[in-house]
A and B are shown apart, each in its own frame.
Chain A
């Protein structure tokens, strides 16, 4: 069974750094892209970007380029999302998601979601 287990809720102050995690199991972690999705309080889903754990190839959505960093550690089947200096506007639920391929090998969409990690940034 495919599972994505995310790290727990975090409460941070503005300016602090943070790294949250998403551990994959039940599939070949290095051969499927992982996506990150933000959901601000009471708002919709936003694609932040995707990372390929096999070689750490990353693609950031324009709104998030330079604001966050994706990484992955193949040895522990875990993807990470990190901030170097948090802002109050980073307060949100963050989901990781496993992306699937179609029969032709093209990335086709999400087939599994993590449970979400709530990040609260407040002074």
Chain B
């Protein structure tokens, strides 16, 4: 069971928008609307940004949005801020009542 595929790194300038992709298969991303996105700052626990493809928990900025097409999910961050610099992980429900993560994407805000 391989990890979901994410770009290793992305970068953007303050105020810009970036998109992080997350590619799986029909057994995970493509088969279920249970894709989540997490933000992790160094030395901290992950934080939930998006659940069920495109839902934001209360308290999460509306600058973060999620979508899915086929076997690929995406996280878009608009109006980049310096505090958005962090690692981002996607996760999907998969068969046998379990989950799988992407390899993670390091976001650099230039």
Contacts and interface: CB of A to CB of B under 8 A. Distances in A.
A114 B45 contact: yes
Contacts of A61: 1, 98, 100
Interface of B: 1, 3, 34-36, 38, 40, 45-48, 51-52, 57, 87, 89, 91, 93, 96-104
Q: Secondary structure of the A side of the interface?
A: strand
Interface residues of A, number: 26
Residue among B45, B47, B98, B104 with max Cβ neighbours from chain A (10 Å): B45
B46 A109 contact: no
Given A49-B98, A62-B1, A102-B34, A109 B93 contact: yes
A108 B93 contact: yes
A80 interface: no
A110 B48 contact: yes
Given A44-B104, A110-B91, A102 B45 contact: no
Contacts of A112: 48
A9 interface: no
A11 to B, nearest CB: 18
B45 A109 contact: no
A114 B34 CA distance: 21
